[in-house]
Amino acid sequence: MERIILKIRLVAFDFDGVFTDNMVYVLQDGSESVRCSRSDGLGLDKLRRLGISTVIISTETNPVVSARAAKLKIRCIQGCGNKLAALEEICRAGGFTLSEAAFVGNDINDLECLTRVGLPIVVQDAHPDVLPHASYHTRRPGGQGAVREVCDLFERVLTVD
C-alpha cells in the first residue's frame, strides 16, 4: 500500500456516501440537505500541504455539493454522467496518468473509476458490489470521517521520518 501511495498525485472523491452518510434530508419546499463530517476539511488541508491534488466528481447536481466543496476549497465537478471521462481529463490536464490517481467511492456508479485508478478506495459502508474492486477499505463510514481517514493515511505514509 505504501508504495502505491508514494506514486499518487491526485485523490478524487465521490460526494454522496463518501463526504456524506448517504442520507438526504428533504425539506417541505423540496430543498435538500446532507450531513458531513467537519474533520474532512482538516484532512483535505493535509493533502494540499503534501502537494496532492483533490477533486470531487459527483453525478448529483445539487447546490449543497457545490456549497460544501467551496467551503472545503476543493474543485468540484457536478452532474457528471461519465465520471471516468472526467477523471481522465483531470489527469491529462494535470500531466499524470490514472495509475497516479486514487478514487474514493461507495457505489456502482463509481465502479469504472475504481477499476482504472492506481489506488481504488471504498468507504466502510460501501455497496457490496464495489468492495472487491478496492485496494483499501476505510474503517470509517461515509460522512463519518472516511475522507479524513484517507487523508490521514496519506499523511502517515508521505511524512515518514
pLDDT score for 138: 98
pTM of full prediction above 0.85:
yes
Q: What percent of the chain has pLDDT over 90?
A: 92
- Looking at residue 26, what is its pLDDT? 93
Are the C-beta atoms of 79 and 60 separated by less than 8 Å? Answer: yes
Pairing label, strands 10-13, 53-57: parallel
How is residue 71 written as a grid cell?
467551503
pLDDT digits (tens, 9 = 90+) for 64-103: 999 999 999 999 999 999 999 999 999 999 999 999 999 9
Q: Residues 6 or more apart from 122 whose CB is under 8 A from it? A: 104, 105, 106, 110, 114, 130, 131, 133, 134, 136, 137, 138
Query: Alpha helix (H) ranges present in the chain?
Result: 2-7, 39-49, 63-72, 83-94, 111-114, 146-158
Domains parsed from the chain with CATH numbers: 2-158 (3.40.50.1000)
**Residue 161: pLDDT band by 50, 70, 90 thresholds?**
low
Q: What is the mean pLDDT of the chain?
A: 95
